[in-house]
Amino acid sequence: MRFSAEKTQLRIGEDPIVDVSITNNDSGSVTLVEPGDGSENGWRTPIVSWSVIEVSSKAEHPSEPIPSNELRCVYMNLLKADELFTLAPSETKDLYKRTGIQLFKKSGVYKVVLLYANHPLLEWREPFGEGSHDKATMKRVKESTACSLKSNEVIFTVTK
């Protein structure tokens, strides 16, 4: 997984604009799922999380995404068929293109990675009040490729 940022020198309150792509480095095709509403909370696959660590810390990035426990609304979008994709060997797909993300709450120098884990058999949370996920598309999710990925690390400097 390749992670890049438009700028790595930011001010407090300025969200980095990022690109993240995934390349199939395997010898066979893989089927994966795009991150969607609920991925950060572990409500659906893939589970994704940003690991943000101060450079001065001895802490290391986790090997698996850690679902967020931040409060959010209970609504979750329905899965769409086009959220699944297949990559042939050496093929690349953008997961996030020119996307603003909120990562920093105070000034400092931070090392950042994105973690992505596709768990085909994960029990999904049902959307609240919107119906159910499409059964045929959910069957394709269950047949997708299990994997756990960590992007390259990008260093950000955040000032007041």
Amino acid (1-letter code) at residue 68: S
Nearest partner of 76 among 116, 32, 44, 123, judged by Cα: 44
Mean pLDDT computed over 107-132: 90
Confidence of residue 129 (pLDDT cuts 50, 70, 90): low
Beta strands, E only, 16-146: 17-23, 30-33, 47-54, 84-87, 92-100, 108-118
Confidence of residue 133 (pLDDT cuts 50, 70, 90): confident
Count of all residues that appear for the chain in the document: 160
CA distance 15 to 91: 29
pTM: 0.93
Residue pair 47/28 in contact (Cβ under 8 Å)? The answer is no
pLDDT reading at 157 higher than 70: yes
CATH architecture of 2-159: Sandwich (2.60)
The reported pLDDT for the residue numbered 71 is: 73
135: helix, strand or coil: helix
CA distance 72 to 124: 17
pLDDT reading at 41 higher than 90: yes
| Residue 98, phi-psi category: left (phi > 0), alpha (psi -120 to 50), beta (remainder) | left
Domains of the chain, by residue range, sit at: 2-159
